[in-house]
Amino acid sequence: MHTNKIVFVVDDDLNMLKGLERLLSAHGFDVQMFQSAEDFQARARPDDAVALVLDVGLTGKSGIDLGRELVASEIFLPVIFITADDSEATRKATMELGCIASLTKPFSAKSLIDAVERASSWRNPLS
C-alpha cells in the first residue's frame, strides 16, 4: 500500500524492525527499514519521509550521532528516538536535537503512533 506517508525506521535489532514495520503499516504508513545509521545515510531520501524512528543505541554510529549529522546537514526530518537507555544524559541529548519524542523501550504502541502522527501532521499540514 502506498500512502505517501513514509516512515523511516533505523534499528539494529531485526525483530524490533519487523515489529515496528507491522505496527506502522497497520496504521497506514509505508515503512522503509534500515539496520544501521550508515545504511540509512547511503539509501534514504529524507525528503520522502514524514518521520524517522531512530534507535539511540545502534551498532557503529549511534542514533545520537546520526541525529547530530542530520541537524548539521540542515536535513529537517522529524525524529522519534527509541532507546533502552533511560539515563538523564540520553534524554538530554535527544531533546537537544529537537526530537518529536524520546521513547524508552518497552514503549506502548499508542505512544509511538501518537508521535508519528504528530510528526506526519507537522511534515504535511494539509494531509
pLDDT for res 83 = 97
Give the pLDDT confidence of 60-100 residue by residue, as tens digits: 999 999 999 999 999 999 999 999 999 999 999 999 999 99
50 assigned to some structural domain: yes
127 assigned to some structural domain: no
- Average pLDDT of span 8-27: 98
CATH value at residue 111: 3.40.50.2300
User: Could you tell me if 17 and 54 are in contact, meaning their C-beta atoms sit under 8 angstroms apart?
Assistant: no
Give the pLDDT confidence of 25-47 residue by residue, as tens digits: 999 999 999 999 999 999 999 98
pLDDT for res 3 = 54
65 assigned to some structural domain: yes
95 assigned to some structural domain: yes
CB atoms within 10 A of CB 69: 13
Domain count across the chain: 1
Alpha-carbon distances of 67 from 3, 34, 63, rounded to whole Å:
25, 15, 6
pLDDT of 1 over the 80 cut: no
pLDDT of 4 over the 80 cut: no
- The continuous run of DSSP H or E covering 53 comes out as strand 49-55
pLDDT of 126 over the 60 cut: no
Position 48 confidence tier, pLDDT thresholds 50, 70, 90 = confident
- Which residue segment(s) compose the domain that 106 sits in? 6-122
Does residue 106 have a cis bond before it (omega within 30 degrees)? yes
Query: What's the predicted TM-score (pTM) here?
Result: 0.93
Q: In what order do the strands lie in the sheet with 101-104?
A: 30-34, 6-10, 49-55, 79-83, 101-104
85 assigned to some structural domain: yes
1 assigned to some structural domain: no
